[in-house]
Amino acid sequence: MIRINHHYLKLQSSYLFSDIAKRVAAYQEANPGKDIIRLGIGDVTLPLPPACIEAFHRAVDEMADSKTFRGYGPEQGYGFLREKIAQTDFRARNADIDPDEIFISDGAKCDTGNIQEIFSHSNRVAIPDPVYPVYLDTNVMAGRTGAYRNGRYENIIYMDSSRENSFVPDLPKTPVDLIYMCFPNNPTGAVITREKLAQWVDYAVKTKSVILYDAAYCAFVRDDTLPLSIYEIEGARNVAIEFRSFSKTAGFTGVRCAYAVVPKTCAAYDKNGDKQYLHPLWNRRHTTKFNGVSYPVQRAAEAVYTEAGSRQTKELADYYLENARIILQAMNELGYECTGGQNSPYIWIDGKTDSWGFFDLLLDKAGVVVTPGSGFGVCGEGYIRISAFNSRENVETAMKRVKEALASA
Ligand code: MLT
**pLDDT tens, position by position, 70-101:** 999 999 999 999 999 999 999 999 999 999 99
- Whole-number Å distance, alpha carbon 91 to ligand 1 midpoint, is 28
Ligand 1 pocket, residue 36 CB under 6 Å: no
**Residue 59 pLDDT exceeds 80:** yes
Atom of ligand 1 nearest to the CA of 134: 9
Residue 347 Cα to ligand 1 midpoint, Å, equals 14
**Is residue 409 pLDDT above 90, yes or no?**
no
Give the Å distance between the CA of 17 and the centre of ligand 1.
8
d(Cα 74, Cα 288) in Å, to the nearest integer? 12
Ligand 1 centroid distance, CA of 32 (Å): 27
Residue to mutate (ligand 1; options 15, 17, 256, 383; most atoms within 8 A of CB):
17
Same domain, 89 and 20: no
CATH number at residue 350: 3.90.1150.10
User: How far, in Å, from the CA of 40 to the mean position of ligand 1?
Assistant: 9
132 within a domain of the structure (yes/no): yes
Three-state SS string over the chain comes to CCCCCHHHHHCCCCCHHHHHHHHHHHHHHHCCCCCCEECCCCCCCCCCCHHHHHHHHHHHHHHCCCCCCCCCCCCCCCHHHHHHHHHHHHHHHCCCCCHHHEEEECCHHHHHHHHHHHCCCCCCEEEEECCCHHHHHHHHHCCCCCCEECCEECCEEEEECCHHHCCCCCCCCCCCCEEEEECCCCCCCCCCCHHHHHHHHHHHHHHCCEEEEECCCHHHCCCCCCCCCHHHCCCHHHCEEEEEECHHHHCCCCCCCEEEECCCCCEEECCCCCEEEHHHHHHHHHHHHCCCCCHHHHHHHHHHHCHHHHHHHHHHHHHHHHHHHHHHHHHHHCCCCEEECCCCCEEEEECCCCHHHHHHHHHHHHCEECEEHHHHCHHHCCEEEEECCCCHHHHHHHHHHHHHHHHHC
Ligand 1 atom index nearest CA of 387: 2
Domain span at 137: 52-306
Does ligand 1 come within 6 angstroms of the Cβ of 109? Answer: yes
Distance 42 CA to ligand 1 centre (A): 5
Residue 19 pLDDT > 90, yes or no? no
CB of residue 249 inside a 6 A radius of ligand 1: no
Look at residue 53 and tell me whether its pLDDT is greater than 80.
yes
Q: How far is the CA of 21 from the centre of ligand 1 (A)?
A: 13
Answer whether residue 245 is part of any domain: yes
CB-ligand 1 contact for 355 (6 Å cutoff): no
Q: Within a domain: residue 401?
A: yes
- Same domain? 337 vs 393: yes
Is the pTM here over 0.95, yes or no?
yes
Q: Which residue type occupies 347?
A: I
Q: Is the per-residue pLDDT at 15 higher than 80?
A: no
pLDDT at 186: 98
Q: Is the CB of 41 under 6 A from ligand 1?
A: yes
Q: What pLDDT does 407 receive? A: 84
Statement: residue 138 has pLDDT above 80 = yes
Taking alpha carbons only, the member of 185, 184, 175, 195 closest to residue 128 is 185
pLDDT at 167 over 80: yes
Q: Distance from the CA of 387 to the center of ligand 1, in angstroms?
A: 10
pLDDT at residue 390, rounded to an integer: 98
Domains contained in the chain, number: 2
Query: Is there a single domain that holds both residue 368 and residue 269?
Result: no
Q: Are residues 58 and 175 in the same domain?
A: yes
In a domain, 247, yes or no: yes
Residue nearest atom 5 in ligand 1 by C-alpha distance: 42
pLDDT for 39? 97
CA of 272 to the centre of ligand 1 (A): 39
Q: Name 270's Cβ contacts closer than 8 Å, sequence gap at least 6.
A: 276
Residue type, 310: S
Name the domain boundary from 306, 321, 341.
Answer: 306
Domain boundary among 262, 289, 306: 306
Q: How far apart are CA 278 and CA 301, in angstroms?
A: 26
Q: Is 42 in the pocket of ligand 1 (CB under 6 A)?
A: yes
Give the pLDDT confidence score for residue 13 in this predicted structure: 73
Residue 276 Cα to ligand 1 midpoint, Å, equals 32
Q: What is residue 3's predicted lDDT score, i.e. its pLDDT?
A: 97
Smallest CA separation from ligand 1 atom 9, residue: 109
Q: Are strands 383-387 and 346-350 parallel, antiparallel or unpaired?
A: antiparallel
**351 and 284 both lie in a single domain:** no
Q: Which of 15-24, 129-138, 154-163, 261-270 has the lowest mean pLDDT?
A: 15-24
Of 339, 347, 337, the closest CA to residue 395 belongs to: 347
**Domain assignment of residue 210, yes or no:** yes
- Tell whether the torsion through CA atoms of 379, 224, 388 and 108 is positive or negative: negative
Judge if 139 and 78 occupy the same domain: yes
Cα separation, 364 vs 34, whole angstroms:
9
What is the model's pLDDT at position 27? Answer: 94
Q: What would the mean pLDDT of 99-126 be, rounded to a whole number?
A: 98
Cis amide prior to 32 (ω within 30 degrees): no
Q: Which atom of ligand 1 is nearest to the CA of 40?
A: 2
User: Do both 166 and 289 map to the same domain?
Assistant: yes
Mean pLDDT, residues 344-366 taken together: 96
What pLDDT band is residue 364 in, cutting at 50, 70 and 90? very high
Q: According to the model, what pLDDT value does residue 346 have?
A: 98
Mean pLDDT on 49-57: 98
- Let me know if residue 1 belongs to a domain: no
**Amino acid code (one letter) for 295:** Y
Ligand 1 atom with minimal separation from the 247 CA = 8
pLDDT surpassing 80 at residue 139: yes
Give the torsion through C-alpha atoms of 357, 361, 364, 369, to 10 deg.
-80
Q: What is the mean pLDDT of residues 218-223?
A: 98
Last residue of a domain, one of 306, 325, 360: 306
Cα(203) to centroid(ligand 1), Å = 28
Q: Is residue 351 part of a domain?
A: yes
Residue 237 clears pLDDT 80, i.e. is over it: yes
Q: In Å, what is the CA distance from 365 to each residue of 36, 266, 269, 324, 334?
A: 11, 51, 55, 21, 16
Query: 185, 151 in Cβ contact below 8 A?
Result: no
In this structure, the answer to whether residues 236 and 212 fall within a common structural domain is yes
CATH classification of the domain holding 71 = 3.40.640.10
pLDDT band at residue 267 using 50, 70 and 90 as cut-offs:
very high
Same domain for 300 and 312, yes or no, is no
- Contact between 154 and 130 under an 8 Å Cβ cutoff? The reply is no
Dist CA 62 CA 376 (whole Å): 44
What's the pLDDT at 12?
Answer: 86
What number does the ligand 1 atom closest to the CA of 186 have?
A: 3
Distance CA 22, CA 11 (A): 18
Atom of ligand 1 nearest to the CA of 187: 3
Mean pLDDT of the chain: 97
Q: Are residues 68 and 177 in the same domain?
A: yes
